[in-house]
Amino acid sequence: MNTAADGEAQAVRSDRPCGRFEVAAFTNPSDIEREWRQLESTGVATIFQRYDWVDAYARHVLPKEKATPAVVLGRLDGSPAFILPLATSTFGPVRVATWIGGNHSSYNFGLWSHEAAAVMASMRRTQIEAMLRAALDGVDYAVLRRMPRIHDDMAQPLAALSRGPSHTEGYSFALAGGFAAVLQKRNGGSRQRKIQSKERKMREAGVLEYGTVRSLERGNAALDFFFEQKALRLAEQGQLNSFGAPGVTDFFRDLLDRSRHMSEPLLEMAELRVGGKICAVIGSAIHRKRVNVYFMTFARDELAPQSPGQVLTFRQIAECCERGMAAYDLGVGFEDFKTHWCDVIHELDDAYVPLTSRGKAAIAAIQLGRAATDQLRRNPFLWQRLKWLRAYLARHAVAGNR
């Protein structure tokens, strides 16, 4: 990377069809905080590209991942034009750049001014690759996963890069017209009666409370509940817990703390309690009146048959409508309950960007492995056996770490 010892980066210029981008990579997000916040207020991005989200992840998680920030800032005619929050790490003989956030960053769009997006969309693949090669000195290739093809009516500015469909997609729905209108599209009368029936049964066990948590203390208690329940469920399934990775707990606590005085929080917790006991929680964020759900879990106890997670989701959606939110996003990855609410599917792409000859060879190997995985997915028997093997190995890894 072209960075000086004091953290300031040397600008590397890249010709474009109309004028000139100035591009530089920074090893510390705080070095460009002013430019970042300026773009946040006027440009297009998802919650996962906001300065505070990226800065918190870079502080708490990247050092544990042995990764280094390489945040690419592009200027257009001297003004901040785009930001790509990347990090670099070494795998064997190669160095790779990826989005900051790992599996916790669902949508990776970058942060763009409208003018910069239009200019980038007019550039050829080789021009974009050359620009990234200049900014990411010493990096062999970049893997840019889960890039929305469109976000906030802006087409993906990096669409010219070599890319293919991600193995996952996002799910959301609009909240226009209020909760009554949302329900009307989804057999709302029947759904509401089912929720009310479940609530009556829960009230037999104690006072029923639900809503967004307002105090930091209760927010942290709800977060503790999530971490505990998530660890239990994944251990039962023999799966590795990404929320238990080093630094991740501190990352989410930092998001909660930073959100205390934000009108659009990076993380807010909603909870459902029965008799004072937490039964379900939802962790979500808000950006440009779009609610982004990070996670939801509930206790597997005597009240589990009353679907406390479904009840809390129902009530939180109603609350978001009352607060004037525009959309509710249940995140990436197929789950049956998402289809009951969502009528918008967000198509995502993974881009593979060779920056050196060694990187080109590495990408060829990755794509070969991906093609083999795609073939396995088309064979239900082999795919189930592979998933069983993964679960078996994960269970033994979890047991070995106890």
Q: For each of the chain's 402 residues, which pLDDT tens digit applies?
A: 333 333 344 444 443 333 378 999 999 999 999 999 999 999 999 999 999 999 999 999 999 999 999 999 999 989 999 999 999 999 889 999 999 999 999 999 999 999 999 999 999 999 999 999 999 999 999 999 999 999 999 999 999 999 999 989 999 999 999 999 999 988 777 889 999 999 999 999 999 999 999 999 999 999 999 999 999 998 888 888 999 999 999 999 999 999 999 999 999 999 999 999 999 999 999 999 999 999 999 999 999 999 999 999 999 999 999 999 999 999 999 998 999 999 999 999 999 999 999 999 989 878 765 655 555 555 666 556 655 655 555 445 444 444
Residues paired with 20 in a beta bridge? 15
For tokens 């992840």, name the residue: 57
Count of beta carbons in the 10 Å neighbourhood of residue 319: 16
Q: Which two tokens stand for residue 130?
A: 């050359």
Give me the residue label for tokens 């795609």: 374
Give the separation between CA 318 and CA 303, rounded to whole angstroms.
22
Alpha-carbon torsion 196, 197, 199, 203, what sign? positive
CB atoms closer than 10 angstroms to residue 163 = 20
Residue 121 pairs with which residues in a beta bridge?
none
pLDDT of res. 162: 94
Q: Which residues lie below 8 Å from residue 14, measured CB to CB, with a gap of 6+?
A: 20, 21, 22, 23, 127, 130, 131, 134, 135
Which pLDDT does position 154 carry in this prediction? 98
Pairwise CA distance, residues 147 & 169, whole Å: 10
Nearest to 117 by CA among 91, 167, 169, 152: 152
Q: What is the distance between the alpha carbons of residues 277 and 295, in angstroms, rounded to a whole number? A: 19
Sign of the torsion angle spanned by Cα atoms 22, 25, 26, 30: positive
Can you tell me the distance from the alpha carbon of 182 to that of 365, in angstroms, rounded to the nearest whole number? 46
Please name which of 258, 259, 330, 332 lies closest in space to residue 290, comparing C-alpha atoms.
Answer: 330
Task: State how far the Cα of 240 lies from the Cα of 263, in Å rounded to an integer.
Answer: 34
Beta carbons within 10 angstroms of residue 302's beta carbon? 9
State residue 256's pLDDT score.
98
Q: Minimal CA–CA distance to 109: which of 24, 206, 43, 174?
A: 43
For the chain, the distance separating the N- and C-terminal CA atoms, rounded to the nearest angstrom, is 39
188: exposed, middle or buried (C-beta count within 10 Å: 0-12, 13-18, 19+)?
middle
Q: What are the Cα distances from residue 138, in Å, to 14, 361, 400?
A: 17, 16, 37
Q: Give the integer Cα–Cα distance in Å for 120 and 114.
A: 10
Q: What distance in Å separates the CA atoms of residue 219 and residue 101, rounded to the nearest whole number?
A: 22
